[in-house]
Amino acid sequence: MKRIIYFILAMVSLAACQPQTQRVFGRFVPERKDDFAWENEYAAYRFYGPALRSENPSNGVDIFMKNTPAFVLDTFFYNYVNFKIPYHVQHGIGFDGYKVAHTTGCGGLAVVVNDTLYVGDQFDRWKILEQTPRKLVFKLYYDSLNVAGTVFSEELTVSARAGEILNRAEVVLTPHGECPFESLLVGAGLYLHDSIGEYHLLADEHAITYTETALSDPGAVRLNRKWYDNTDLGRTHEAIIVPNSSPHIIANTAVALTEYKPGEKLTYWFGGCWDRWTDGKQSFPTQEAWDKAIKKKARKL
pLDDT in tens, 255-295: 999 999 999 999 999 999 999 998 767 899 999 999 999 99
Instruction: Report residue 29 CA to chain centroid gap.
Output: 16
- Which residues are CB-neighbours of 46 under 8 A, at least 6 positions away? 29, 35, 36, 37, 38, 61, 62, 64, 73
Residue 89 belongs to a domain with what CATH number?
2.70.98
3-class secondary-structure state, position 13: helix
How many other CB atoms sit within 10 Å of the CB of residue 140? 20
Assess whether pLDDT exceeds 60 at residue 163: yes
Assess whether pLDDT exceeds 90 at residue 301.
no
Distance CA 144, CA 23 (A): 34
Q: Has residue 81 got a pLDDT over 80? A: yes
Domain tally for the chain? 1
Query: 144 falls in which pLDDT band (50, 70, 90)?
Result: very high
Strand residue runs (E) in 214-260: 235-241, 246-250, 253-260
Each residue of 5-33: pLDDT tens digit?
545 444 544 444 555 589 999 999 999 99
Left, alpha or beta for 243 (phi > 0: left; psi -120 to 50: alpha)? beta
Among 37-46, 85-94, 159-168, 278-287, which is the least confidently predicted range? 278-287
Determine the structural domain holding residue 105 and report its residue range: 2-300
Average pLDDT of the chain? 92
